């Protein structure tokens, strides 16, 4: 049972005063593609720019982890008072599943403790969700009158090829028409010649590696291809060095089949055996680490790279996303932060952060502007990564184009 705040009248002024130290809990779920940016921003919410303790169930967490818990004080940002602590529990399940969990108040298993190595799980509902896409085209959209949906950044995506030797290495580009055909292929694959342009590759199949349908990355990919209808899924089986039809879900029962997270797809792309003739779709963060050279397995999309002046196989010294910002590269979506719009929807099982504190925390995380946002915001985290040349997302203030729907037309 969480300790509560006692309200008292002091010196004739009515206010809320914490008479005993309290621990406020915030539970975040959603996008695996955006987990690195969310991790850095959540760290920035704490006094001094770092939590006092953090845990991924094994030890200290990394930004790529699928789950973590961190704790500390956030007095400077008004989320905690002196003597209070803020504990953030994160579980990255995918954008669509995250939106569904937020809407339906699903019980999720978060790491309970921020002590490194602690493995005890705590079942709770989500306070907020990051999503790679607007909720409208998903399986379980949020009712707009009940939840805030705040764009916080632009999330670029890329198509990548596996590290397997052989014909897949001759693939350098994919168009939206080719993507539409691959998504609708009954075997989940197409002749390699369709992508390589070499007649001699006709007898080799190339496969598309997919996320589960709870993935915002997959929603963006399907919308980008203007694909309607069934998508056939195959899994790579390293024991047989071949692809087999998907017969069971790799994700939650209601959201399958496919690979659960971007890290899982990245893992498949890193398998270099000859049978893994495959391409997949990933966030810039996951795609960056497939090989030892940044983004060396990245394909052009409709003839363009998302990074200006990119030379395949050469690590870029800056992250210049001009092709996205000016409308030449279209494989991207608005990253959104979603949370309840009224206290009626914030009455969760063990979230004693309170509705006003929840709004304060989410407003800080989502803050954007023409300059860098405040400490602890997504905007500020991306601003700092731009300066360091490591940005894998784009600030809203940097982009010169827009679109009204996922995969929709891009306009100035």
The tens-digit pLDDT sequence of the chain (412 residues) is 333 333 232 222 223 334 567 889 999 999 989 999 999 999 999 999 999 999 999 999 999 999 999 999 999 888 889 999 999 999 998 899 899 999 998 999 999 999 999 999 999 999 999 999 999 888 788 998 889 999 999 999 999 999 999 999 999 999 999 999 999 998 889 999 999 999 999 999 999 999 988 789 999 999 999 998 888 888 898 889 999 888 766 655 556 678 888 888 999 999 999 999 999 999 999 998 898 888 999 999 999 999 999 998 888 878 899 999 999 999 999 999 999 987 776 655 556 677 888 889 999 999 886 667 788 999 999 999 988 888 999 999 999 999 989 999 999 9
Question: Which are the contacts of 88, defined by CB distance < 8 A and separation ≥ 6?
Answer: 25, 26, 27, 28, 42, 45, 51, 69, 70, 71
| Sign of the dihedral defined by the CA atoms of residues 101, 104, 105, 109, in that order | negative
User: Nearest 5°: CA angle at 232, between 136 and 191?
Assistant: 125
Tokens at 308, concatenated: 């200006």
Dist CA 215 CA 258 (whole Å)? 9
Question: Which are the contacts of 410, defined by CB distance < 8 A and separation ≥ 6?
Answer: 327, 330, 401, 402, 403
Dist CA 257 CA 178 (whole Å)? 22
- CATH topology classification for 155-332: D-Maltodextrin-Binding Protein; domain 2 (3.40.190)
Tokens at 143, concatenated: 């009712």
- Segments of 162-288 assigned E as strands: 173-174, 189-191, 205-209, 234-237, 242-245, 278-283
The SS3 call for residue 290 is coil
Residues present in the chain in total: 412
Question: Which are the contacts of 41, defined by CB distance < 8 A and separation ≥ 6?
Answer: 365, 376, 377, 378, 380, 381
pTM of the model: 0.88
Query: Could you tell me the residue ranges of all domains in the chain?
Result: 6-153+334-398, 155-332
Dist CA 378 CA 73 (whole Å)? 19
Helix (H) or strand (E) segment spanning residue 54: strand 53-55
């Amino acid at each position: 049972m969480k300790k509560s705040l006692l309200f008292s009248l002091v010196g004739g002024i009515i206010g809320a005063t914490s008479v005993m130290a309290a621990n406020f809990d915030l539970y975040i779920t959603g996008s695996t593609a955006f987990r690195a940016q969310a991790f850095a921003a959540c760290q920035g919410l704490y006094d001094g720019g770092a939590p006092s303790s953090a845990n991924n169930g094994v030890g200290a967490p990394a930004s790529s982890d699928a789950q973590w818990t961190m704790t500390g004080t956030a007095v400077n940002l008004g989320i905690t008072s002196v003597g209070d602590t803020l504990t953030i529990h994160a579980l990255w399940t995918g954008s669509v599943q995250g939106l569904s969990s937020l809407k339906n108040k699903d019980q999720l298993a978060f790491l309970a403790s921020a002590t490194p190595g602690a493995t005890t799980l705590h079942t709770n509902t989500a306070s907020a969700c990051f999503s790679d896409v607007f909720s409208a085209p998903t399986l379980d959209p949020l009712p707009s009158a009940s939840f805030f949906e705040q764009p916080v950044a632009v999330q670029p995506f890329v198509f990548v090829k596996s590290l397997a030797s052989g014909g897949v290495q001759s693939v350098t580009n994919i168009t939206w028409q080719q993507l539409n055909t691959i998504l609708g292929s009954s075997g989940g694959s197409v002749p390699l010649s369709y992508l390589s342009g070499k007649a001699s590759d006709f007898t080799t199949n190339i496969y598309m590696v997919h996320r589960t349908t709870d993935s915002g990355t997959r929603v963006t990919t399907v919308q980008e291809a203007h694909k309607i209808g069934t998508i056939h899924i195959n899994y790579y089986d390293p024991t047989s060095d071949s692809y087999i039809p998907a017969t069971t879900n790799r994700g939650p029962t209601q959201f399958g089949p496919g690979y659960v997270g971007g890290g899982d797809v990245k893992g498949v792309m890193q398998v270099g055996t000859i049978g893994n003739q495959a391409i997949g779709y990933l966030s810039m963060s996951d795609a960056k680490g497939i090989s030892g050279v940044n983004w060396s397995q990245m394909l052009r999309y409709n003839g363009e790279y998302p990074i200006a002046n990119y030379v395949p196989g050469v690590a870029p010294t800056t992250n210049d996303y001009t092709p996205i910002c000016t409308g030449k590269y279209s494989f991207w979506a608005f990253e959104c932060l979603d949370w309840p719009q009224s206290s009626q929807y914030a009455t969760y099982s063990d979230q004693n952060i309170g509705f006003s504190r929840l709004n304060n925390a989410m407003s800080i995380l989502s803050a954007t502007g023409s300059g860098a946002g405040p400490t602890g915001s997504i905007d500020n985290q991306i601003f700092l990564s731009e300066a360091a040349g490591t940005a894998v997302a784009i600030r809203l203030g940097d982009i010169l184009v827009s679109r009204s729907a996922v995969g929709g037309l891009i306009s100035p």
